Structure 1
Amino acid sequence: MTVASRLALQASVVPSLSHNHHRFPRSYIISSPTTSKRSPRISCSISLSSAAATTTSIPWGCEVDSLENAEALQKWLSASGLPPQKMKIERVEVGERGLVALKNIRKGEKLLFVPPSLVITADSDWSCPEAGKVLKRNSVPDWPLLATYIISEASLMSKSRWSNYISALPRQPYSLLYWTRSELDRYLEASKIRERAIEMSNDVAGTYNDLKLRIFSKYPDLFPEEVFNMETFRWSFGILFSRLVRLPSMCGKVALVPWADMLNHSCEVETYLDYDKSSKGIVFTTDRQYQPGEQVFISYGKKSNGELLLSYGFVPEEGTNPSDSAELSLSLEKSDKCYKEKLEALRKHGLSASHCFPLQVTGWPVQMMAYAYLVVSPPSMLRQFDELAAAASSKTGARQDIRFPELDGQALRFILDNCEASIAKYSKFLQESGSMDLDFTSPKQLNRRLFLKQLAVNLCYSERRILHRTQYILRRRLRDMRTDELRAPRIFDGFWNLFK
């Protein structure tokens, strides 16, 4: 599952390589920016399988562009109860593999009809029943249970009912889980998504270590370490992050839906997977028509470019994602005379001394203004600290329409200063990215570094674009406020002259 946009690849490469690069299945073509000047452009081709190479190879799955495994999956699904389809798996321009229309598909038509018997959930039967019983006896939540389930079934190879499905899964899932810490620090230093990627990686490691301590070490025959280890858990969680769906009509149950997870994402569609009670299958309803040969898309949800990179490993083209956002961090100043009182109020409502707010081209959340009010509020407003902190949180029942006109100027200036500081970080990274030392020792390493670097560059351009828009709005509001302040005395003087 991946994105409906062609990734642009721009970088400064060692001259001898830029003229003699290898031919790979998928090309990344440079597109020039519409609003800002970028570094010199080159054309380059990269194989995602080589670009995403890791130090440890997973013994199951396939290369991301393998059609042989995908076609075997389709045959197995058809033999196991999947109805005849109006789509087939093909290599596609967008997403390596995807589902392509075999015949005309109408707008509003239901497709897929994957029966529940071909869907993997926390209730699925284990090929090794004892392993499943141990996990359920220990009340393991759905996500780690499913991660363990996939590894267990994968290790059984052809003995597992799901062997054809697992063989068609990518050996290297698209996810920031597969970026090293140094790569996250190097390429995503300007973006707040870096912190979330580190948190995600730590959560996966913590989950594995907890399972190892509480369960795996006590049942080594069921969970041998050569199978259930950190690398295989990184793989299985990568699969879950990029392929697991929540089905609203099945009480929000999370599931892996073979065949359906071959559908790629487009920011231009709004249709999603769900269980259809009338047909008793997993379906989606098209919101546009497709001609034979066209790739069919669904939506992975209203996610920002950073969130799409985090879980799925791609970045839509700049300006094409209406749900895109950039996070802006605001913080209390420790030099504030009321720092302790303000921090106490924030903590009471689940916030901290530093908090990130999502900015969009269309505006920012009202909670951010309340947070800014709290930061700039003087000691004389001590009684309002709790009210402001409540408004800055997203708790139900808190007032969201709080206004303090006398603080508007200071609050907007505070947000603007933080916005411009963030823009400076993005600009510095983008300026340095053209001459960034790629530190490679082989063509495969070069491909990987180029690929990761370009994803980071694409993300930075899209997030900086939103910050620039926010900067423009803030500056205009502050300018209008100054204009109004200057206009008021002139109006008063005009009235005074009338009575002279």
Structure 2
Amino acid sequence: MPCASVRAVNFSYFPRSILTLSHHLLLKIRYCIPPQRCKVSKCRDEDCDDFLPWLENKAGVRISSLLAIGNSDYGRSLFACKSIQAGDSLLKVPFVLQISPDNVLPDIKPFLTDSVGAVAKLALVILVEQKKGQKSEWAPYISRLPQHGELHSTIFWSENELKMIQQSSLYQETIDQKAQIKKEFLAIKPVFDRFPDIFEGVNFENFKHAYGLVASRAWESMKGQSLIPFADFLNHNGTSQSVLVSDEYRQLSEVIADRDYVPGEEVFIRYGRFPNSVLVLDFGFTVPNNMYDQVCIQVDIPYDDHLRAMKLDLLQKNCLPKLKDAYFSSSGGSFIMKEVRSARGKGKGIPQSLRAFARVLCSSSPQELNDLALEAVQQDGRLARRPLINRSLEIQAHEILLSQIDKLIANNNMSIENLQAVDAEFTNCRRFSIRRQMAQDLLTGEVRVLRSASAWLTNYCQLVRSNRKQL
């Protein structure tokens, strides 16, 4: 699995690490460090035996004596080559070894407009170093990055593959992201044309691959993003407490072990608390039964609603600034829903913003809308956050949500069933099999979240009916 992305994602972005300090480059001190022999696992990647000694020689300091590069089901990974105890420093990578947008060639920088983001700038650095080949000072690192066809982010999926997740909001997010990459390519293309000796033969597919490499491996900082060789071999585990942190005073990034490891065991960190929708788009992998899974629900006010304009105006005036779990547009709202709270205390329940939207949606008169606005002013300023006095309307509001969620469950289940009905030409394709499993993990996780919401809404409506009868 690649390391975490720096891309901003609609409705689902979380800080991927606590890299919060600048990346000032140190003077390069070069001297030889004797290679350290360690007990390597059976997963050892012999092609990388020289990588860590090269990197340590380049930095002039020891980076790790506890980890070795090996192969896992997800490609190159880091394994314990000695016994590791919780609290041990797993690796320390000096800032001098970190590739940032500052590494863009000085001749090129003046021609990059403000529309070119940090990820695209780093992609340029990758492209330049790739063209240099073995003459590049970063050749041992660049040559070990995933090759064309080895990245599984949805930006690389074919149209037929994307149809597998058409039911998910990730489908549109992927289309939007591909359009953004194309936009940045067009902004950079004049640079390619101006420096043909450097970028000869580079096309959009080359740029998109480099962009994908950066987006799946870069680490965020206040100064932008950086590629951190060796550290980016660490794979993700959502339950791990280890993260990459940076120390500006010591001018290095470090990972501390959160638990004990025995020799030969793969070592993990946590990229962030990401749902599969983020993992598959940014990094190109999924986690089965991901505890952080979530669903984006779009609820619109019908155009034939005679109070539509009044409702939209009321929502816009009372729902700003934007909520972290909701986004309001000219037609309605998009809401992020996580697994709903259960008897085990898991999940956060139906978003209050979504329930408030439903209460506004089911209001049938200007007076009811005015009452909601007045209540918001008299209370804490939040619109329709309390149950409606009219219990019938309260039930109706939540049944609207229940109906839409049950439809989403049915559609997702149909999509999951259709995953098995694929063209014969794809059945023996390993790449397609990987992506089909990712689609299944994504949709299955969304169904789990939706079912928990459906159960909660059903119980709530029954409770309101019961209380109404008692009254």
TM-score bin (small chain): 0.7 to 0.9
- Deviation, 1:69, is 4.9
Superposed counterparts of 1:202-217, under 5 Å:
202-212=179-189, 215-217=191-193
Contact 1:370/1:389, CA 8 A, preserved across alignment? no
Q: How many angstroms apart in 1 are the aligned matches of 2:200 and 2:183?
A: 16
Aligned to 2:152: 174
Q: Tell me which of 61, 67, 78 is aligned to 1:87.
A: 67
2:456 aligned with 1:487: no
Q: Deviations over 1:400-452 (max 9, x none)?
A: 78214234322211111110110011111122333x13241794xx3233222
Structure 1 residue 255 displacement after superposition: 1.0
Q: Matches of 1:382 and 1:401 in 2, distance apart?
A: 9
51, 54, 62: which one pairs with 1:73? 51
Q: 1:87 to 1:384 in 2, by over 3 A?
A: farther
Q: Which amino acid in structure 2 is aligned with residue 159 of structure 1? A: K
Distance, in Å, in 2 between the alignment partners of 1:165 and 1:387 is: 62
Q: Matched residues in 1 for 2:417 and 2:56: separation? A: 52
Structure 2: tracts of 5 or more residues without a match: 4-42, 321-326, 340-346
Distance of 1:132 and 1:153 partners within structure 2: 16
Give % identity: 27
Task: Give the secondary-structure state (helix, strand or coil) at the position aligned to 2:101.
Answer: coil
Q: Does 1:232 align with 2:206?
A: yes
Instruction: Give CA deviations for 1:111-152 in whole Å, capped at 9, x if unaligned.
Output: 21101110011122x4x54224433x7674322211111111
Task: Give TM-score scaled by structure 1 length.
Answer: 0.74
- Distance in 2 between residues matched to 1:414 and 1:422, nearest whole Å: 13
Q: Is residue 474 of structure 1 aligned with residue 453 of structure 2?
A: no
- Picking from 95, 99, 104, the partner of 1:116 is 95
Render the CA deviation track for 1:256-286: whole Å, top value 9, x for unaligned: 1110000000011132112124543111222
Q: Closer, same or farther in 2 for the Cα pair 1:188/1:103, shift >3 Å?
A: same
Which whole-Å CA distance do the structure 1 matches of 2:237 and 2:88 have between them? 18
> What pairs with 1:149-188 in structure 2 (closer than 5 Å)?
149-171=125-147, 172-184=150-162, 186-188=163-165
RMSD (Å) for aligned C-alpha atoms: 2.8
- How far residue 346 of structure 1 moved from its aligned partner, in angstroms, is 4.8
C-alpha contact 1:272 1:284 (8 A) present in aligned 2: yes
Q: Which residue of structure 1 lines up, in the alignment, with residue 196 of structure 2?
A: 221
* 1:477 Cα offset (Å): 0.5
Supply the AA of the counterpart residue of 1:330.
V
Match of 1:303, SS state, is coil
Contact 2:131 2:199 in 1 (8 A): no
The whole-number CA distance in structure 1 between the counterparts of 2:144 and 2:458 is 52
Change (3 A) 1:400 1:108: farther
Question: Residue 56 of structure 1 corresponds to which residue in structure 2?
Answer: none
| Shift in alpha-carbon separation, 1:203–1:96, aligned structure 2, 3 A | same
The one of 357, 369, 392 aligned to 1:371? 357
Aligned with 1:299 (options 233, 252, 270) = 270
**1:336 CA displacement:** 0.9
Q: For the residues of structure 1 that align with 2:146 and 2:432, how far apart are their CA atoms?
A: 20
Q: Distance in 2 between matches of 1:196 and 1:132?
A: 30
Number of paired residues? 405
Cα shift at 1:216: 3.5
Contact 1:308 1:314 survives alignment (8 Å):
yes
In structure 1, stretches of 5+ residues that fail to align are 4-64, 391-396, 489-500
Partners in 1 of 2:160 and 2:184 — Cα distance? Answer: 22
Which of 138, 145, 151 is residue 121 of structure 2 equivalent to?
145
User: Secondary structure in 1 aligned to 2:296?
Assistant: strand
Distance 2:422 2:154 in 1: 21
1:271 and 1:285 in contact (8 A); partners too? yes
Distance 1:387 1:420, change over 3 A: farther
Aligned to 1:438: 423
Measured against aligned partners, the alpha-carbon deviations of 1:458-484 in whole angstroms (never above 9, x if no partner) come to 211111011111100110111111111
Write the mapping of 1:387-426 to structure 2, written as runs, cut at 5 A. 399=382, 402-405=385-388, 406=390, 407-426=393-412
C-alpha separation between the residues in 1 aligned to 2:233 and 2:298? 36
User: Matches of residues 290-329 of structure 1 in structure 2 within 5 Å?
Assistant: 290-318=261-289, 321-329=290-298
1:336 aligned to 2:322? no
User: Does the CA-based 8 Å contact 1:305-1:315 persist in structure 2?
Assistant: yes
